[in-house]
Amino acid sequence: MKNVFLRRKNILISAILILCIILSTLAFAQQDINDNENKVKNVILMIPDGMTIAHTTLARWYQGGEPLAMDELACGLVRTYSANNPITDSAPAATAYATGFKTQNRYLSIYPEMVSMPGVGQVEEKDFYKPIITILESAKRLGKSTGLVFTCQFPHATPAAFASHTDNRNDYESIAEQMVYNHVDVVLGGGYKYIDKNQRKDKEDLAGYLKQNGIFVTTNWQDAKNFFGQKIWGLFAQDAMHYDFDRKDAGEPSLAEMTQKAIQILSKNRNGFFLMIEGSQIDWASHANDPVGVVSEVLAFDKAVKVALDFAKSRDDTAIIIVPDHTNGGMTLGIGTTSIDSVLLNHFLKYIRRATRTAAGVEEILGNNKTDENIKKVVSQYYGIDNLTQDEINAIKNAPQGRLNYVLGPIISKRSYIGWTSNEHTGEEVVLYAYHPKDYIPRGVIENTEVCDYMAEILGIDLGSFNENAYISNIDLEEKGYNVSIDTSNPSNIQLVINKGSKKYIIPQNKNLVLEGSNQYKLKYVSVYIPSAKRFFVSSEIESLIK
């Protein structure tokens, strides 16, 4: 009887173990199903640069209290600090969204060497300045189409973070070259002069390179509207585009129109797409403390949000994330010691609603005709202000070129009871907005790096695998026994030179090319030179190429 009992006991234990395995397998299977349900083909990241709650409040009142298109998507807050400062600039802020890593101010999608903020992991010295693969670059490697839409010049910090790597966000010529050689499929915005051989210091014909690689290049919006191919760089201004209130006479498209065109082109790819859209000049208006510019650009951005949201809601494979990169200006509705009971809604809106140009637009209209009478006439015509003081007239007259908005903005703000604490970025959290067809969205207070983590998750991208051994530096190559040198004889074209036997391999900075005699090879990623550290980073498959 004892043996029978033991056999029954063993059978029962075995059955329990089998049941546990089955339940565990089912649980994992269910998790896989849930993960697959949350995945999408397309992600649209929208960045209203520098936008705060005060900005959206003012824009909402401007349109009669009607909700913004983005309002229904508000779901949390995002912490914006960089690796070395509680107040970030746009370069590390965009880097966090592009790579999932915090870096230091001025850096674009490279690891920092200076980390001083709590909770930010230290980087090993060998990885200082090393390029970090971006979500756009990863999406492209997976066969997705990629796009960047903005109203600034394309090498500016936010678009640049997704398709370039540098320790100097102001090195526009190098950044532009990297972005061109990164083969972004759709680029719509400003900055043609950075691909024009006649305007570049190094005389590189980047526009010609794009055309040779099957990309339609245009500066004309009508031509772009009529384009129905799959790759286009439409750069509709030599540098930055106009503010939305000022653009009509310039023949430039709106952010919403460019968004519509980008989606139309990118959605042709059955593998899906990644698209970043920036409301670039919300930030610039905030730097100038110009409330008219703020309203102009927030509403223009919100119209682009509606375009993207209409597209996403018409299908079940697209997610949208809307998130400012930082706050700017410390804008408030209410100023000084003014009694809250004495300021009515019309006091905030009176002059802003009358405005038909931003301060930057008014500067173009004034031109060189800055007589007292013409200043009073133009300011009255475009803002309805008829009581300029002599000090204000003198300030307008003496404003440096390109900086009149820093004078007119505060003049309008004072009369509109709108306060500002700064002409610079500030360090508060920003509002997170998100749409997902299955309502799988981040909530609560999150880090800016988690925005990238979320996008990678729903796209099914393992960013870690892309970053692992993606780049190798000249120092790494030397330690492995290669004969390596950096040729700086032409400052506009720094090159990494690798000698092996009778062969010499030349790797130009900012390109994805290797030259060996009359042979030319392409690398996965663009090569990056960091002058301050004398470090040259090259795509790691260079080793297999030169063996």
Task: Give CA angle at 406 (405, 409), nearest 5°.
Answer: 65
**Residue 213 belongs to some domain of the structure:** yes
Identify the domain boundary among 359, 394, 419. Answer: 419
**Residue 282 belongs to some domain of the structure:** no
Q: Are 236 and 187 in contact (CB under 8 A)?
A: no
| Domain, as residue range, for 1 | 1-38
Note whether 94 and 229 are same-domain residues: yes
Note whether 325 and 414 are same-domain residues: no
Q: What is the pTM of this model?
A: 0.93
**Residue 285 belongs to some domain of the structure:** no
User: Which element (helix H / strand E) includes 125?
Assistant: none
- Number of domains observed in the structure of the chain: 4
Residue 385 confidence (pLDDT): 96
Q: How many CB atoms lie within 10 A of CB 60?
A: 17
Identify the domain boundary among 392, 419, 446. Answer: 419
Do strands 535-539 and 528-530 pair parallel, antiparallel, or not at all (unpaired)?
A: antiparallel
**Residue 86 belongs to some domain of the structure:** yes
Note whether 184 and 253 are same-domain residues: yes
CATH of the domain at 208: 3.40.720.10
Here the tokens at position 144 are: 């997705």
Note whether 325 and 348 are same-domain residues: no
Note whether 395 and 437 are same-domain residues: no
**Residue 67 belongs to some domain of the structure:** yes
Question: Residue 317, annotated ligand binder?
Answer: no
- Residues noted as catalytic: 90
Residue 28 confidence (pLDDT): 43
CATH of the domain at 479: 3.30.457.10
Residues 23 and 183: their CA atoms lie apart, in Å, by 47
Note whether 266 and 192 are same-domain residues: yes
Strands ordered across the beta sheet of 74-79: 216-218, 232-235, 186-190, 145-153, 273-279, 42-48, 318-322, 430-435, 74-79, 444-447
Here the tokens at position 1 are: 């009887």
Note whether 323 and 432 are same-domain residues: yes
**Residue 281 belongs to some domain of the structure:** no
Note whether 227 and 162 are same-domain residues: yes
Residues 253 and 307: their CA atoms lie apart, in Å, by 14
Note whether 522 and 401 are same-domain residues: no
Question: Residue 341, annotated ligand binder?
Answer: no
Residues 264 and 238: their CA atoms lie apart, in Å, by 25
Question: Residue 287, annotated ligand binder?
Answer: yes
Note whether 238 and 211 are same-domain residues: yes
Question: Residue 165, annotated ligand binder?
Answer: no
Here the tokens at position 491 are: 């400052």
Note whether 239 and 137 are same-domain residues: yes
CATH of the domain at 410: 1.10.60.40
Identify the domain boundary among 382, 399, 419. Answer: 419
**Residue 364 belongs to some domain of the structure:** yes
Residues 145 and 333: their CA atoms lie apart, in Å, by 42
Note whether 180 and 72 are same-domain residues: yes
Question: Residue 310, annotated ligand binder?
Answer: no
**Residue 303 belongs to some domain of the structure:** yes
Ranges under pLDDT 50 in the chain: 1-6, 8-9, 26-33
